[in-house]
Amino acid sequence: MGFGPLTGIRILDLSTMIAAPFGATLLGDFGADVIKVEMPNRGDSLRSMGPFKESEPLRWPALARNKKSLTLDLHTSEGQVILKKLVAQSDVVIENFRPGTLEKWGIGYDVLKEANPEIILMRVSGYGQTGPYAEKAGFGTPATAFSGFTYLHGYTDRPPISPSFSLVDYITGVYVAFATTAALYYRDAKDGNGQMIDMGLYESVFRMMEFLVADYDQNDIIKERSPGLSGHSSPAGTFQTKDGHWIVLVTSSDRTFERLAKAMNREDMLSDEKFYTNKVRLENFNLTNGIVADFVKKWDRDELQALLDEFGVPISPINSIKDIFENPQFKSRENIVEIDHPRLGSIKMPGIVPKFSETPGTIRNVGPDLSEHTDEILKDLVGLSDMEIKNLKDKNIV
């Protein structure tokens, strides 16, 4: 079983910040041996991102977990020689430099293939490796706006709003993990070859917008921003309970609305021409939501939850992180786990998902200190002596 289904796979993570590194971390959660390659004395920029506790970056332990840190200056010929020796013993290289950067350094895909014909190169950039925007600088928040996502969010009388965290980066990271495992399966189970995979940040969110494409293509509709899940299901939205809590309720099918109508003791709505199908409820969205809002306002949160759970109506409180820490479902699923940290003592971080019955993943270490595993990797994988490693350190190559 090892550490998970990817035990035995070695990944060189050359990437920085969130999107591509998060994909590498997901692969590491399920057993892959991930070597994070960082610039000497500087490291990944993520190490200097908040939040902090005193001088300790609090995002790093979880986002860089299950990785080893190797410092290596890829601008230098000596560093590139070492990289090629590592590529020869690895399965995947993940990078997120601006397109053309690896080629400029002389370590593009063709060169990596010479070192290892079966290598898989996973490339992430703001706009992909091709097209007129390929060489633009790409970061998550601008990519989210470019994808069409930001245009949909907010109130019509206020500016559009961006997500309050790096949503597109994390979604892209999931695509990185998915694409890498698909390429590994093709190579190893189907007797295929290594290959290059090209992903633009904006593409990960845009792929989820088939409804937007379809409505504009077939109905010439430009969907404007609105709060909540509008235009799909009715009733749907955010409602406030009698005791001041906020909940989300959605009825995405007529069968679900039937259960809600019974819970509200409003079965008359099931035969009313304004409410009897989702299509007509969408035409009377504000009226329908108003009826639900009045109903919700009569109940305390926990009483409402119990009632609607009994009738099978999808509802959830809007949880703060404090609520999540205290919630029995999160505890039961081990969605938050406690891990030792060399300076912070015991820390909590998100657990591993999804749950594998036969080959569950493991958290083997928190995000490593800069260059923590350099000597180990250079000795064990590259075959360098202590003196050779010292010479490289003296020249600031590692």
List the CATH number of the domain containing 276. 3.30.1540.10
**Residue 218 included in any domain:** no
pLDDT digits (tens, 9 = 90+) for 131-152: 999 999 999 999 999 999 999 9
Looking at the structure, do residues 162 and 272 belong to the same domain, yes or no?
no
Q: What is the mean pLDDT of the chain?
A: 96
pLDDT digits (tens, 9 = 90+) for 358-382: 999 999 999 999 999 999 999 999 9
Looking at the structure, do residues 308 and 354 belong to the same domain, yes or no?
no
Looking at the structure, do residues 132 and 194 belong to the same domain, yes or no?
yes
Tokens of 66: 């299950």
Looking at the structure, do residues 270 and 378 belong to the same domain, yes or no?
no
Position 1 pLDDT exceeds 60: no
Looking at the structure, do residues 202 and 306 belong to the same domain, yes or no?
no
Q: How far apart are CA 128 and CA 212, in angstroms?
A: 22
**Residue 375 included in any domain:** yes
Last residue of a domain, one of 324, 346, 361: 324
| CA angle (30 as vertex; 25, 34 as ends), nearest 5 | 45
**Residue 1 included in any domain:** no
**Range of 285's domain?**
236-324
Contacts of 170 (CB under 8 A, 6+ apart): 18, 19, 22
**Residue 356 included in any domain:** yes
The total number of structural domains in the chain stands at: 2
Residue 222: per-residue pLDDT: 95
Could you identify the residue written with the tokens 């960082």? 38
**Residue 23 included in any domain:** yes
pLDDT digits (tens, 9 = 90+) for 48-97: 999 999 999 999 999 999 999 999 999 999 999 999 999 999 999 999 99
Last residue of a domain, one of 270, 296, 324: 324
Looking at the structure, do residues 347 and 319 belong to the same domain, yes or no?
no
CA distances from 47 to 19, 98, 280 (A): 14, 20, 52
Closest CA to 31 of 91, 116, 113: 91
| CA angle (34 as vertex; 343, 98 as ends), nearest 5 | 100
Last residue of a domain, one of 324, 357, 385: 324
Tokens of 70: 């190797």
Quick check: 33 and 11 in contact, CB under 8 A?
yes
Q: How far apart are CA 200 and CA 215, in angstroms?
A: 24
**Residue 227 included in any domain:** no
| CA angle (148 as vertex; 143, 150 as ends), nearest 5 | 75
Eight-class DSSP state of 152: G
- HSE-CB of 302 using CA atoms within 13 angstroms: 0
**Residue 219 included in any domain:** no
**Residue 361 included in any domain:** yes
pLDDT band at residue 2 using 50, 70 and 90 as cut-offs: confident
Position 108 pLDDT exceeds 60: yes
Looking at the structure, do residues 315 and 340 belong to the same domain, yes or no?
no
Looking at the structure, do residues 298 and 339 belong to the same domain, yes or no?
no
Point out the residues that are catalytic: 169
Determine what percent of the chain is predicted with pLDDT higher than 70: 99
